[in-house]
Amino acid sequence: MLTKRDKRVIAAGVTLFLISQPVILASIPLDAESTVKPIIVKKGTHLHEVAQLLKEEDLIRSGWLFMACSLVVHKGKIIAGEYELSKHMSIAQIATRMAAGQRKVYTLKIVEGYNLNAAGEALEKAGIMDRNAFFKLATYDLFLDKVHISADSLEGYLAPDTYFYSKETDVEAFLERIIRRTFAFFEKEEIKARMAELHMNTYEVLTLASMIEKEAKIEQEKPLISAVFHNRLHIGMSLDSDPTVMYGIGPTPKALTKNDLNRPTAYNTYKLKGLPKGPICTPSTSSLLAALYPASSDFLYFVSKNDGTHVFSRHMSEHNQFVTIYQKNKKKP
């Protein structure tokens, strides 16, 4: 006959067994298969919806067991994101991974001087978005209106930096965040005051800065190159910028010909007076500042010395001499 002590021991054993079974089950993988499945958990998704998704994808044996494990061990914490999961992972491992936010993150680097084509290639290479889909969005009127850009594309508005993207975030929202970085520069009071002094708007500053970005090879020359462009604009002289001509032709040729310089595009600053139609690339902050704060100089010309630097001139005769010198040097083997 069982004593009271024996009954208590048996009851405790049964209770321990019943409690341990879910813990054991939660620690056992569903299968030995290690094929990875991407699972995207959007922001605001409830715990029971995550459990249902995992069950539908045949990654867990029980939605209730997943919820119990998540609630008991992690207080139901689930961080939105894209998770790479497999049947080889246990419920406990999946719950821990989602609570810790061990998600897949994509890295996008927008480099100073990138145009839309280069940005599209970077997005596609990073696995974020197809380049053709990006270019379609970057020229889509409704999206441009949404992000308050009164131009025909996003050219010049993608702030250079390294960005991190997770697929629980809508790709349009991700691009909006990059664009807001550009607008943030122009929202500074000192920048707005300076633009008012120069009688320039955001689009004009971006356009001029993008030209400086493409022309300058070293940072120290950016204010001088800016001065040349400002001086020319002030006297109504054409800007004669090769990078704008190249952009208007697209794809960029290795070298410009006389026919190229005579081609009538909205970016041919040899044929047009004033700034081209719009930005030709993403300018760096230093190029933006150079566009706003040109050097105090009366230079009107510059020519490449073929070593990354330029020689600046005030008069056409002087400029032509330098052009002859450095063009000849360039042709030498």
* Gap between the Cα atoms of 86 and 77, Å rounded: 20
Q: Confirm if 90 and 32 have CB atoms less than 8 A apart.
A: no
Tell me, what amino acid is at 148? H
CA dihedral 29, 25, 54, 171 (to 10 degrees): -70
Q: Confirm if 86 and 37 have CB atoms less than 8 A apart.
A: yes
Express each pLDDT in 180-205 by its tens digit. 999 999 999 999 999 999 999 999 99
Express each pLDDT in 1-59 by its tens digit. 545 554 454 444 434 433 444 555 556 665 667 788 999 999 889 999 999 999 999 99
Question: Phi and psi (nearest 5°) for 158?
Answer: -90, 100
If one counts every other C-beta atom within 10 angstroms of the C-beta of residue 302, the result is 21
pTM for the whole structure: 0.83
* pLDDT on residue 193: 98
Q: What residue ranges of the chain have pLDDT lower than 50?
A: 2, 6-7, 9-21, 332-333
* pLDDT on residue 307: 86
Between strands 81-85 and 37-41, the pairing is antiparallel
Tell me, what amino acid is at 275? L
* pLDDT on residue 328: 62
Q: What does each C-alpha distance from 286 to 123, 283, 310 come to in angstroms?
A: 24, 8, 18
CATH class of 26-100: alpha beta
Q: Delimit the domains of the chain by residue range.
A: 26-100, 106-186, 191-299
Q: What does each C-alpha distance from 243 to 217, 239, 247, 255, 325 come to in angstroms?
A: 13, 11, 6, 10, 22
* Gap between the Cα atoms of 291 and 282, Å rounded: 13
* pLDDT on residue 91: 87
